[in-house]
């Protein structure tokens, strides 16, 4: 696993955006797996700047997002659909029909099966990931089987507490989500995981040095041949679980 230490979020964003740029330029039909959360925000900002400076064209890009809250309408300000539109999709020339997001409303079980079929026929060239403080990737919480594909999951209290900063109260944070499974994530040719801050240090230490275990879902990445971890010094400390 390659580890790249960066000084701040902006540097991480510029670094990862440049890798994405190369992936887009190297393929006639690039397929990207995208993530939400604070970690990739700077990356999207740099991608938008590249597009505005005519350095990057999203015309032929196809995207698949990792996850979505269950029961949240796409127009809700905390839906991941809303997040992606705000930070990337509405600001570049991507074809809306090439954007794929799991749906958190309607017949979610059926839609998650359909999403999984699409993922299985359209492999990602690059998957961007963040990491939860408990070691989750996408919304695959501790205990999720490594073989798991797209599914509906009940969120850990820790995850809901971490994400409550985006809502008014903890009660407003959905209790469930639809997420790509760990098997779907592993299907990508290349994976980049971005993390910053001391709250991620325990999970990063487990990922880099811990035993591979379903108790820390991110440790499945130890088996992937092309993973890069982009972290700051705070996330690189060998912290204990709090
Ligand atoms: C959520 C998302 C994950 C993300 C994690 C970390 O739980 N489902 O995909 O990696 O948050 O988010 P942040 O980057 O905001 O710390």
CA of 237 to the centre of ligand 1 (A): 19
Asked about 57 being catalytic, the answer comes back as no
Instruction: Please provide the DSSP assignment of 32-77 as one string.
Output: EEE--SSTTHHHHHHHHHHHHTTS---TT-EEEE-EEETT--TTST
Q: Which atom of ligand 1 is nearest to the CA of 155?
A: 7
Cβ atoms of residues 80 and 64 within 8 Å: no
pLDDT at 85 (0 to 100): 97
The answer to whether residue 240 scores a pLDDT higher than 90 is no
pLDDT in tens, 117-141: 999 999 999 999 999 999 999 999 9
Q: Which residue has the tokens 């963040």?
A: 130
Give yes or no for residue 231 CB within 6 A of ligand 1. no
Question: Per-residue pLDDT for 142 more than 80?
Answer: yes
Output the six-digit token pair for 12: 């991480």
Report whether residue 13 contacts ligand 1, using a CB cutoff of 6 Å. no
Averaged pLDDT, 72-94: 96
The pLDDT score that the predictor gives to residue 237 is 87
Q: How confident is the model at residue 242 (pLDDT cuts 50, 70, 90)?
A: low
The answer to whether 89 and 79 have CB atoms below 8 angstroms apart is no
Beta-bridge partners for 241: none
Instruction: With 0.85 as the threshold, say if the pTM is over it.
Output: yes
**Section 31-56 average pLDDT:** 98
Instruction: Select which of 116, 134, 140, 236 is catalytic.
Output: 134
> Measuring CA to CA, which residue among 228, 219, 199 is closest to residue 142?
219
């Amino acid at each position: 696993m390659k580890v790249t230490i960066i000084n701040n979020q902006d540097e991480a964003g510029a670094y990862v955006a440049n890798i994405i740029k190369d992936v887009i330029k190297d393929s006639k039909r690039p397929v990207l797996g995208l993530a939400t959360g604070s970690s990739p925000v700077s990356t999207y900002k740099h991608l938008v700047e590249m597009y505005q400076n005519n350095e990057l064209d999203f015309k032929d890009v196809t995207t698949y997002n990792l996850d979505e809250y269950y029961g949240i309408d796409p127009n809700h300000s905390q839906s991941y659909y809303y997040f992606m539109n705000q930070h990337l999709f509405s600001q570049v020339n991507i074809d809306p029909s090439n954007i794929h997001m799991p749906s958190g409303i309607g017949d979610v079980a059926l839609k998650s099966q359909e999403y999984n079929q699409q993922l299985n026929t359209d492999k990602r060239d690059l998957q961007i990931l963040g990491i939860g403080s408990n070691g989750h990737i996408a919304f695959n919480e501790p205990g999720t089987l490594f073989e798991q594909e797209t599914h509906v999951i009940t969120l850990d209290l820790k995850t809901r507490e971490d994400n409550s900063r985006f809502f008014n109260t903890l009660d407003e944070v959905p209790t469930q989500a639809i997420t790509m499974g760990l098997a779907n994530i592993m299907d990508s040719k290349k994976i980049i995981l971005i993390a910053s801050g001391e709250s991620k240090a325990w999970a990063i230490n487990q990922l880099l040095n811990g035993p591979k275990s379903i108790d820390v879902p991110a440790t499945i990445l130890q088996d992937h041949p092309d993973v890069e971890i982009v972290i700051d010094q705070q996330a690189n400390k060998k912290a204990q679980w709090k």
